[in-house]
Amino acid sequence: MSLKTVWNFLKSKFFWINILVAVILVFAIAGISLVSLGQFTHHGETIIVPDLHGFYPEEAEVVLKKNGLAYEVVDSVYVRDKLPGEVIEQVPAANTPVKLGRKVYLTINASSKKQIALPDLRNFPARQAKATLEAMGFRVEKIDYTPSEYPDLVMEVKAGGVAVVPGSKITDGASLTLVVGERAIGETAYTPDLKGMNAAAAEAAITEYRFVPGAVEYDETLTNTTDKSAFFVYRQTPAAGSAYETGRRIDIWLTTDESKLSQQQEQNDTHLEEDFFN
């Protein structure tokens, strides 16, 4: 094909009509594509995300569907003052403009309460123990005082009226009672007669008389299979009926030998208290 033929074709009406048709088709296709894409992606259409805090997921679903939105529960955490299953967090946040059909991610309150291990607060000052427990999420509802040689120190922690062993798991927010030592300076009382009692009964009697349970010594070796209830008090110091300052401790000796009950206990063996611990 000669150069003259090509030049005559480029100047022909047929060529320019085809160019014009091609340009029109390109613009038409581009316009249709943009309009279709806008309709498909809802370009320019926004929905304001409703506030779902305090709703249950089923309630949130109804509200979101009315607004053309969807939801998904993605996590659960425990918040003490919220109801189980209640929405406590949402993404996107309330009042955020989003596209139609957007999914809202929800975090709900866990149905079971968190369990917290109780720290060992024995011998802690009462004020420090109270602050520690409250910082952990517990409530110190009451402080009970009991005779002790070491006043204002925590002797035990109770939950529901029962002493709790350190390390035990307690429900977050539970109400606790601190048992704190108290010494009534200058007050005296007569020591109870503990002979023949088992250890539990003797300790209860000691506390009732506003004394403190002291050391316990068994006259036989204890093993894992030994029944402690089979032992009974055959000796105590100070002796029964002694005038003694309240808040002081009373030590007891236990035996399974009933013949020791008939033996006369020395009336003045308070000095053995120091020997017992040395």
Contact assessment for residue 158 and residue 228, using Cβ atoms and an 8 Å cutoff: no
- State the pLDDT at residue 184: 63
Q: Is the pLDDT of residue 156 over 90?
A: yes
**pLDDT cut 70: percent of the chain above it:** 83
Average pLDDT over residues 140-161: 88
If DSSP codes are grouped into helix, strand and coil, which group holds residue 257? coil
Averaged pLDDT score across all residues of the chain: 83
Backbone angles phi, psi at 147, to 5 degrees: -55, 140
Q: Tell me the two tokens of residue 12.
A: 């022909």
Q: Quick one: which of 235, 248, 249, 243 has its CA closest to 194?
A: 235
Is the pLDDT higher at 92 or at 221?
92
Average pLDDT over residues 30-45: 63
